[in-house]
Structure 1
Amino acid sequence: MAIYQPSKDVLLAAINAQNSLTIKATDIIYSAPKDIRGTDQETTTQRNTLVKVSAAPVGSTWTGKKNVFYNRLKLSDLTTLIGDTLQVGSVDKLYDALVGLNNRYGFAFEEADLENSDLEWEPDGRTGSLELIAKADSLGWIGMVTFKLAKGDESLQSAVTVTTLNGLKYPNGDMGSVAQTATIAEIYSYPFDFTTQRDALLAFEPGVLSAGTTLNNLVGILNPITGTTWVASNAASWGLLGAEITYNGLNKAEFPTNSKYKYAMAIKLPATTTNIKGTLYVQYNDPDDPNEV
């Protein structure tokens, strides 16, 4: 189970990857996870959690149900990664702090993961303590951990209330006054480096992506690097079927890409994908030559 993505997305991606499937989130429902620590099932599977995955009763192309064994992460392990102190803004309940904590530390906690604990502040309002307690039915987390609190700065999402940019344009070409209803693909793809896939990427040619090997190969390249569950279907979330490769070659100055990359592939997302809109720019370089001096 990964830390920096929503638990349900990570679990579905693992199921698909381990079984060469393309199940969509709308195809299935999860049972409440069962803690199997200290049981024969843990000994046999070397996993701490059992969840039953069933086909959704409406709209799913799948039938039946399967038991899935996996490891939920211990909240107590977070102190190894980030220490025992959290910086938090001026709030008194955990749910009010989740946006800031996720932004500051890169987590993807949801209210479904954690109890809405009180932030216990000292009289000076500068220090305190917080118990993070996993809900029993959290798909990704188990246990609890106590953090020290330090008064931190506010998150942008809580401090910036004006969310449009009048007179300016977003990277997708929309004027800043236009409210965005989906992730902007140009911004989403900017941080990723696909240099390790240079040879495979150069083989892609412009054209619409239909079902088949080319589309499957692209999904296989994108998912490990982005950590997102792209699928080779017309799913509303992360579906690539019908996307169009409009360019693949040397990077261009007019692209909203990082100029340090030699190559760029532009992928216009299909209208059927509604959670992310625009054009993905897959950026990559020639790999370093270990023999070059």
Structure 2
Amino acid sequence: MASFNLTPSDPSTFILTGIPGLEASHILISIPFSMFYFISLLGNFTVLFVVYKEQTLHKPMYLLLCMLALTDISTSTSVVPKALCIFWFNLKGITVGGCLTQMFFLHAASAMHSAILVTMAFDRYVAICNPLSYATILTNARVAKLGLVGLIRAVLFILPMPLLLRIQPFCANHFIPHTHCDHMAVAKMSCGDITVNRTYGLVIALVVIGFDLMLIALSYGLIIRAVLRISSEKAHQKAVNTCTAHICVILTSYTPSLFSFVTHRFGQGIAPHIHIILANLYFLVPPMLNPIIYGVKTKELRDKVGKYTCKM
């Protein structure tokens, strides 16, 4: 296989080693990587295409689904193509600028993804607790503005990460034991003081994940309170069905993220390849499962996808 011939001391280049200890299995590991990525692209582009083509789906809920699909495509595409280049062709080199750019896009897309899940929780709250005012509270324009706020927040929060690393000195060790340029993995390559980088990354993770989870929990707390006040069993079932897909997406999105975050910072006794596999699960599993979950649980979307599948 071709290799990227670069000296480790080249100050303009990092070397991504892939999954340490499992180099001999890179080709085998690439099979689920590529399959998950293909399924993710197929599912998310299908959602985007069907919602775009169907006027009846031009509603706030489906606009949020499109935003979710775009962030899923962005997160997986930020990571998987480079990982496959490492696994298939041994192309391990990445410029410092390319590494910091990859870091910015994957972390910004993750923060945007979290903001969209919060907006979807608010959407479910309004749909169940204030259904008569749903059309006036959540218009397409308002959802688009909320999405823009989430994007601005992601950019403002994540941009300092690569900027702070840019001024760090990187000495002879340019080998990053990872498949992508994760913030802490790159920071640990520095021979300078990374206290600020470490603290900022920790604070942003806690603020984004902690604050967003708190808002989601608040929304569902209000939903549960409203549902308990309803005596009708049919109404209970309808409320549960309305929230099921979103709850599943929350679990698939935050669970691998929290595991990766905890093990990376506090799991020093865990083998490095476990750290890296957990980190990659966040960029592989949710983008693949999210369109499947909504396709199965949302009847209107499922029917439209079936319609275009039959046409093909």
TM-score range, shorter chain: under 0.3
> Which has the larger share of strand?
1
Task: Report the TM-score when normalising by structure 1.
Answer: 0.23
> Which has the larger share of helix?
2
Task: Report the TM-score when normalising by structure 2.
Answer: 0.22
Q: Which has the higher contact order (CA 8 A, sep 6+)?
A: 2
